[in-house]
Amino acid sequence: MARKKTTSKKKQTAAKTASSAAKKAAPVKAKAEAVEAAAVETAAPVKEVAPVAKEVAPAVKETVPAVKEAAPAVKETAPAAKEVAPAAKKTAPAKSTAARKKAASQKKAPAKEEPVKEAAPVEKAAPAVEEAPVEEAAPAVEEAPVEKAAPIEEAAPAVEEVPVEEAAPAVEEALVEEAAPAVEEAPVEEAAPAVEETPVEEEPVKEEAPVYVPPMPDTPRRSVAFIGSECHPFVKTGGLGDVMYALPRELVKLNCDVRVILPRYGCIPWEYQEKMQYRGAFQMDLGETGRTYYVGIMEYVCDGVVYDFIDNQEFFYVGNPYLNLVDDIPRYCFFSKAALAALNFLNWIPDIVHCHDWQAALVPVYLRTIFKTSPVGRAKSVLTIHNLRFQGVYNIPTIRYWSGLPNEVFTMGALQQNYLDANMLKGGLAYADRITTVSHTYAQEIQTPEYGEGLDAHLRYHSGKLRGIVNGIDYDMWNPATDPSLAVNYGLLDVLQHKWENKLALQRELGLWQDAGKFVIGLISRLTNQKGLDLVNAIIPQVMDGNTQVIVLGTGDKQYEDTFRYYENTYKGMFSACIQYDESRAHRIYAGSDSLLVPSRFEPCGLSQLIDMHYGGLPIVRETGGLKDTVEPYNDQTGGGNGFTFDRYDAGLLLDAINRAKTAYFTNRYHWDEVVQRNMDKDVSWNRSAWQYKDLYLELTRW
Ligand code: ADP
C-alpha cells in the first residue's frame, strides 16, 4: 500500500495559466490572502470595487507582483481552455522525473516536504464584496470543437422516473417564509439542459475488467458515488483523504458498487496518472460564463473501487487541491457540476450520491435543480461534514456567476448566508437528503453556537436528518504487525516484549536519550490553533521532569513551529521537534511512544488517537468531538478505560491529565500494560463505520 504523501511541487508557471480564468472573474473578499487581492486588483473586470478591497489591493501589489501576471484579462480564458483540452486526453500532466522520484523515495528520509496541509483553504476571509463581473466575463467563445452536440440526457437510456420527493429544501422558519424555495415550482426550464455535454470524441467507452470480487454479506446491493476533493493515495491533506480512501473499500465488501469522483489534480503522482484510462469527454457549460468547458473522465480501478478523475487542466493543473478562495470557488463549482454530468455521461446512475465537505456541497443543490430532470436526478444525496470550519463562503454574485444555480436557492434557507454572502456548505446542508458528520459528539456540538461556526441554527433546523458516524482507521495501512516503517513489528500477543524496542529505535533516530524507562509522549498533528497547541506550549516546562520525553511531528503555524524548536533546544535529548510532514516517521512515533497528546479545541473525529490505541498507546485527549466518543477515561481503581481525558479547554487540566498518565505509567505498570493490550484489541476499523453508512443508504433507498 502506498503511503506516500502526495504533495506537489510548485508549478508556478502552470499555476498562473491555469488559474487565470478564476482570478479574473472572481471578485474578492477584503481579508483574502495577499495573492488573491493582488490578482483581483488587476484582473477582476469589476464594475464597482468595494472600498475595503480597494484598500487591500495596492498593499498587496508590492508584495506579490508576480501574481499580477497570473491574472491577465478575461479574453485569454477561452484560448487557454482550447489548448488544454487536447492535452488533457493524454494521461499525464508534465511532471519532472526528479520530482516524481523524490516523492517516491520519501520513505525514510527526514522529508522536508511542504505538506499539502499548508494549503488549507482560507475561507474565513473577511467580507468585502465586489460586483460579479458577469457581463464582462469571457465573451462566450463556443469552442466545442465537436461534430455533433448530443446532449447526454438524450443519450442515456430511459431511467424510470423516480420521484424526487424532497426537492425543496426545508427553509428555516424564522428566516424567510416568503422565500421558501419551493424548488418544485421553480421554473428550472432553462436550467434543465444545463449540461450540454458534447462528446468530444466518439471513442467507445472501454470497460474495465472487474478486479476483485470480495465475499458479499447478506445485505442488499446499492450503488454509491463518492464525490470529494481529495483521496489517499492520490492526494491527501487530512482526514477527508483517509475517509475517501478507506470507506469506499469497506463499502465494496458490504455489497456496494462504488465510484469515487475526484478532480484530476496535476499533483497526483505519476504512478497513478499513468494507470488511468481515458473514459470519454464532453463539453459542459458553467454558470454565467457563457462558454463551455472540457470535462474529461480518466478512470482507475483498484480493489473493486472505480476512481473517476474529472479532467480539466484549466481548473486542476495547479498541483495543490486548495489554493485560495478566488480560485477554489470556480474550480469546485465546476467540479460539483462536472461530477454529476459525468455520471450521466457514463450512464452510471447511483442510488446514492455521497458528497464530502464544502467542495462538493453544491452537488445536492445541483441534483435538485439543474439536474433534477436528468437521469442522475433520481439519486438520493448524503453530505458529510468533516470539518465545519471550512464552508466555501463568498459573495453571492460570484457564486451565482460560477454555479449558474437558479435564484431560488439563494435564500436564507439555503445558500444565502447574509446580505452579501453565499455559503456553499449551507446550501448543501439544506438540499441533502441526509447529513452526517464524523462523530456523534461532534454532531451534537455543531448545533451549539460554540462549535457551530455560524451554522448552528441552520444545523439545529436540519437536525432531523443529521447523524454522527465515527471514522475508523485502515487496518492494512496501520498494522504494527506488518508495518514496514517500524524497527520491530509486534502484535497483540508480543506488544509488551517489542514496543520498547521501537521506543529505543525512535530515541536513537531522533537523537534523544536512549532509555526505555522514560515516559515518551508523542504529538503528531497539524500545528494549528484547532489542535490545542497553546495549551501544550503553556505547560511544557512542567512536563519536562527528567523522566519524560516529548516528540512533536508536524507543520503549520510558524509561531508553533518556532516554539517547539525552542523547546528542542532548551531540553536537549528530551524534546524533539520534527517540523515536517513525514508519514513513515509518524508510524514510528506511534509505535515508539507511550502516549499521544491530542488536546484539541475541537475535533470532528480525529484519527491519530485511534492509530495510537491500535499501536498500543494510551492517548491523552480533550473530551470533545470524536475524541470523546473513542477514548474512555482511564479508571485507576478498576484499571478500565483507554486513555486520559480532560474536559474544559484549560492548560491546568491538560497538565493534570498528563500527570495522571505519568502516575499510572510509573506506579501502576501492571494496569498500564493491560490497557495497552486492550487498546490494541479495540475495534477501531472501518468495518463498523461502513455498516452504519450502509444502513443509512438503505434507509434512504427502501425498495
Ligand atoms: P486532521 O484531519 O484534523 O488533520 P486527524 O487526526 O483526523 O486530524 O488526521 C491526521 C492524520 O494526519 C493522522 O493520520 C496523522 O498521523 C497524520 N499527520 C498529521 N500530521 C502529520 C505529519 N506532520 N506527518 C505525518 N503524518 C501526519
Q: Which residues pair with 556 in a beta bridge?
A: 527
The residue type found at 552 is V
Edge to edge, the sheet with strand 434-437 lists 277-285, 292-302, 305-311, 256-263, 222-227, 352-356, 380-385, 434-437, 466-468
Distance 7 CA to ligand 1 centre (A): 14
Q: Whose CA is nearest to atom 13 of ligand 1?
A: 608
Contact indicator for 675, 594 with CB cutoff of 8 Å = no
Global pTM value: 0.72
DSSP state of 200: S
Q: Whose CA is nearest to atom 8 of ligand 1?
A: 606
- Count of CB atoms situated within 10 Å of the CB of 584: 19
| pLDDT score of 199 | 54
Euclidean distance between CA atoms 88 and 279, whole angstroms: 12
Euclidean distance between CA atoms 23 and 41, whole angstroms: 10
| pLDDT score of 41 | 36
Contact indicator for 235, 322 with CB cutoff of 8 Å = no
- Per-block mean pLDDT, blocks of 10 residues, the chain (703 long): 39 40 40 38 35 35 35 34 36 38 39 37 37 37 38 39 42 41 41 48 51 68 97 88 94 96 95 96 97 97 95 88 89 98 98 98 98 98 95 97 96 96 98 97 97 97 97 93 97 95 98 97 95 97 97 96 98 97 96 98 95 98 97 93 97 98 96 97 95 97 85
Closest CA to 558 of 604, 537, 527, 583: 527
Q: Whose CA is nearest to atom 12 of ligand 1?
A: 238
Question: What DSSP letter does each residue of 370-398 carry, written as one string?
Answer: TTTTSGGGG-EEEEEES-TT---EEEHHH
| pLDDT score of 197 | 52
Find the angle CA(116)-CA(118)-CA(120) to the nearest 5 degrees: 95
Closest CA to 490 of 672, 616, 642: 616
Euclidean distance between CA atoms 351 and 159, whole angstroms: 12
| pLDDT score of 212 | 54
Q: Which atom of ligand 1 is nearest to the CA of 603?
A: 3
Radius of gyration of the chain (CA): 25
Distance 142 CA to ligand 1 centre (A): 44
| pLDDT score of 238 | 77
Euclidean distance between CA atoms 277 and 90, whole angstroms: 9
| pLDDT score of 702 | 86
| pLDDT score of 230 | 95
Distance 261 CA to ligand 1 centre (A): 23
| pLDDT score of 207 | 52
Ligand 1 mutation target, pool 388, 526, 601, 684, most atoms within 8 A of CB: 526
Distance 581 CA to ligand 1 centre (A): 9
**Cis ω on the peptide bond leading into residue 204 (within 30° of 0)?**
no
Q: Which residues pair with 550 in a beta bridge?
A: 521, 575
Contact indicator for 381, 5 with CB cutoff of 8 Å = no
| pLDDT score of 500 | 96
Q: Whose CA is nearest to atom 26 of ligand 1?
A: 583
- Count of CB atoms situated within 10 Å of the CB of 168: 20
Distance 471 CA to ligand 1 centre (A): 14
Euclidean distance between CA atoms 408 and 185, whole angstroms: 10
